[in-house]
Each structure stands twice: as structure tokens, then as C-alpha cells.
Amino acid sequence: MNFSTKLMLLILISTHVHGQPSSDSAEVGFDALKLLVGTWKVQGSETDFRIQFELTANETVLMETWLSKGKKHSLTVYHLDGKRLMATHYCPQGNQPRLVMSGSFKEGKIEFEYLDATNLGSIEDSHQHHLAFVMPKGFKHIERIESYLTANKENTDQLVLERDQ
């Protein structure tokens, strides 16, 4: 094996342990999410819907709050858990899916996959099952993609967001 092949294998091994991102990768993902701090609106829309990101707990937790007509609608909390980056979604449906970052933060994209949930009667009940952010260089906009799973049918929604000035 030549040096570049060995180096590539070392990088791959260091970023993936049993399918989970390394703590470095999780930290890079969390640092990327911290760049979202502020208020965002749907690109080109004049509706009264906003998504607000703010840090709390000595900047170890990022809170994402959905606001509709000035009222809080839902909440997603992001934090590190050892070598994992977690997202817990507090849904208006009353369940709380926990998602874990899958893969590594690369090419401006971070993805979360379903881990488990509290207050979910059955996996067949509607719940957030996947979440992703696409953050192109320059941050003129971001894409927030989420999927809900209900009785093995997946529904995906995508929001293109811009900073609310």
C-alpha cells in the first residue's frame, strides 16, 4: 500500500467507528450548526413564520425554535453526547424523536437519522425520522430537509431559508 492509500484509510477509520461519526466529526458538525445562530425565514416568503437558533447551557446546546405568528410551535435541541451529535425534536404531536448524526459533516451537509423516541406509542405512529441541513458556502441560504414516517410511508419536506434581517 502506498502512503496516500494508507493516509486515506487512516482518515476513513478515524471518522467512522461502528457506523458512528468520531467525536471530531460530531464536534465539527456541532460547530457548523452553531453558525445558524440567529433568525431565519422561508426564502422569498412574507409569511410570519420564522426559525430561531440560539445557544444555551454555556454554548453546549443549540435550540431551534419554530415560531408561527409569534407563537412557539416546536423545538429541536442539538448537543454532543460523547462521540455522537444528537438532535431531540419536541413535536407538537407530543412525541420526542431522538436523532443521531449519521456519517460526517462534509460538503456543507449534515444529516441525522432516527435513533429512538419518547412518548411514541408505535414506530408506525407519525414521527420525525430524518433531518438534514445543507449549508452552501457563503450561507446566503440553507436548506432544512426533514422526513416524517407514518405506517412505513415517508413524507419529506424541504425549506429553503434565508437570514431574517
Q: Is residue 46 part of a domain?
A: yes
Q: Is residue 7 part of a domain?
A: no
Q: What is the pLDDT of residues 44-88, one digit of tens each?
A: 888 999 999 999 999 999 999 999 988 999 999 999 999 999 999
Q: C-alpha cell of 109?
A: 451537509
- Judged on CB neighbours under 10 Å (0-12, 13-18, 19+), 133 is buried
In this predicted structure, the answer to whether residue 19 has a pLDDT above a threshold of 60 is no
Q: What is the pLDDT of residues 79-106, one digit of tens each?
A: 999 999 999 999 999 999 999 999 888 8
- What CATH number did the domain enclosing 27 receive? 2.40.128.20
Q: Is residue 114 part of a domain?
A: yes
Q: Is residue 58 part of a domain?
A: yes
User: What does the pLDDT read at residue 158?
Assistant: 96
Closest CA to 72 of 98, 46, 91, 97: 91
Residue with the bigger pLDDT between 152 and 150: it is 150
Q: Is residue 152 part of a domain?
A: yes
Domains: count for the chain: 1
Q: Of 20-34, 99-113, 124-138, 149-163, where does mean pLDDT reach its minimum?
A: 20-34
User: What does the pLDDT read at residue 16?
Assistant: 38
Q: Are 124 and 150 in contact (CB under 8 A)?
A: yes
Q: Is residue 87 part of a domain?
A: yes
Q: Is residue 77 part of a domain?
A: yes
Q: What is the pLDDT of residues 117-151, one digit of tens each?
A: 999 999 899 999 999 999 998 888 999 999 999 98
Residue with the bigger pLDDT between 126 and 15: it is 126
φ, ψ dihedrals at 157, nearest 5°: -125, 145
User: What does the pLDDT read at residue 165?
Assistant: 73
The DSSP output letter for 22 is P
User: What does the pLDDT read at residue 79?
Assistant: 98
In this predicted structure, the answer to whether residue 7 has a pLDDT above a threshold of 50 is no
Q: Is residue 108 part of a domain?
A: yes
Instruction: Give percent helix, percent strand, percent coil of the chain, each to the nearest 5.
Output: 15, 55, 30
User: What does the pLDDT read at residue 103?
Assistant: 86
- pTM: predicted TM-score of the whole model, two decimal places: 0.83
Residues 6+ apart with CB under 8 A from 55: 34, 37, 61, 62, 63
Residue 84: domain span:
17-163
